[in-house]
Amino acid sequence: MRTYLECIPCFVRQGLDALREVCTDEAEIDRILKQVLSVIAGVDRQQTPPEMSRAIHGLIRHELGNVDPYHEIKQCSTRQALEVMPEVRRRIERSDKPFDTAVRFALAGNILDFALASLYQSDQLDTTLARAETQPLDEAMVTQLQHAVDQAQTILWLADNAGETVFDRLLIEQLTDKRFIYAVKAAPIINDATLSDAQAAGVHEVADIIDNGTDAPGTVLKLCSPGFRDIFQNADLVIAKGQANFETLNEVDREIYFLTQIKCVVMARHYGYRIGDWVVTTTTAIASRMQSNQPEVAHDPG
């Protein structure tokens, strides 16, 4: 998905959010935010939104002397998720349909998204977990995912955010006869999970953790390491979490399962979803949805 004009105000807000996290000097924030505006003004909008985010947050980290603005937020998310983990695991294990329930909690965990930091509410995780088992979901797609998992030996899991990793782990641990490769970012970008975030969630107990060789949000294949791309091409099944993976991979030429909440109006309009929808879909399903629906892509003045 390319960058839409409606993404621009959001990039500015995201940049400001990141600066606010670690900087209290208003003049310094002002100085760096002006550079962010210049970067955005110069951008090629054929890039995906995550590529754009990478440029913006790379600049911010550089200007802040390589401080990671999301370091504490990520640790806090993981702590919050680990606290509820035993209870969530019980709910999965007691469920009549443990796979379905585990998918639902993996989707619930996607609420831990601090790319939208200034819009995040501290009780959001609790309220999201509370409705995980009743949230409308395309059950046929969940069943299709379960069959795909059944038939796969090696499953590549593309992680999204720190903390969400805990809920990913709870799904993965249900599937003990599969080999899971859990791919994280090679370096900090927004609140995306890196190796240490995945380890803090205990993912290493249930999967092999690798990094994808880049600090771009989502999975920008051309920026990933050759080793990662090889695993990506050859895995029996690829499961990708979160919007940024959807945005960067939905037109890629291999079947991928996407698990994400819909958080942004541009993506909702573009793919015919509503904000807040929980989505299980595939590259194939998205392509056929786009072909049959032809939704109005950009601006809907109503």
Using DSSP, state whether 192 is helix, strand or coil: strand
Q: Which of 1, 18, 33, 56 binds a copy of itself (CB under 8 A)?
A: 33
Q: Which of 37, 59, 76, 223 binds a copy of itself (CB under 8 A)?
A: 37
Kindly state whether residue 71 participates in binding a copy of itself, applying the rule CB under 8 A. Answer: no
Using DSSP, state whether 248 is helix, strand or coil: helix
Using DSSP, state whether 208 is helix, strand or coil: strand
Kindly state whether residue 12 participates in binding a copy of itself, applying the rule CB under 8 A. Answer: yes
Kindly state whether residue 298 participates in binding a copy of itself, applying the rule CB under 8 A. Answer: yes
Q: Which of 6, 63, 173, 236 binds a copy of itself (CB under 8 A)?
A: 6
Residue type for position 168: D
**Other Cβ atoms closer than 10 A to 285:** 18
Q: Is 237 exposed, middle or buried (0-12, 13-18, 19+ CB in 10 A)?
A: buried
Kindly state whether residue 290 participates in binding a copy of itself, applying the rule CB under 8 A. Answer: no
Residues in contact with a copy of itself, shown as a per-residue x/- string from 98 to 127 under the rule CB under 8 A: ------------------------x-----
Kindly state whether residue 2 participates in binding a copy of itself, applying the rule CB under 8 A. Answer: no
Please give the Cα distance from 153 to 237 (Å, whole number): 8
Kindly state whether residue 30 participates in binding a copy of itself, applying the rule CB under 8 A. Answer: yes
Name which of 181, 183, 134 is nearest 159 in CA terms: 183
Please give the Cα distance from 155 to 182 (Å, whole number): 8
Q: 221 Cβ partners below 8 Å, 6+ apart? A: 229, 232, 248, 249, 252
CB 275 within 8 A of CB 262: yes
Q: Which of 1, 18, 40, 175 binds a copy of itself (CB under 8 A)?
A: 40
Residue placing its CB nearer to a copy of itself in the complex, 20 or 289: 20
Kindly state whether residue 29 participates in binding a copy of itself, applying the rule CB under 8 A. Answer: yes
The CB-of-22 to a copy of itself minimum distance in angstroms stands at: 11
Kindly state whether residue 34 participates in binding a copy of itself, applying the rule CB under 8 A. Answer: yes
Residue placing its CB nearer to a copy of itself in the complex, 26 or 96: 26
Choose the binding region for a copy of itself from 10-18, 63-71, 93-101, 287-295 (rule: CB under 8 A): 10-18
The CB-of-298 to a copy of itself minimum distance in angstroms stands at: 7
Distance of CA 228 to the CA centre of its chain: 18
**Other Cβ atoms closer than 10 A to 110:** 24
Please give the Cα distance from 8 to 26 (Å, whole number): 22
**Site residues (vs a copy of itself, CB under 8 A):** 5-6, 8-10, 12-13, 16, 20-21, 26, 29-30, 33-34, 37-38, 40-42, 45, 122, 298-299, 301-302
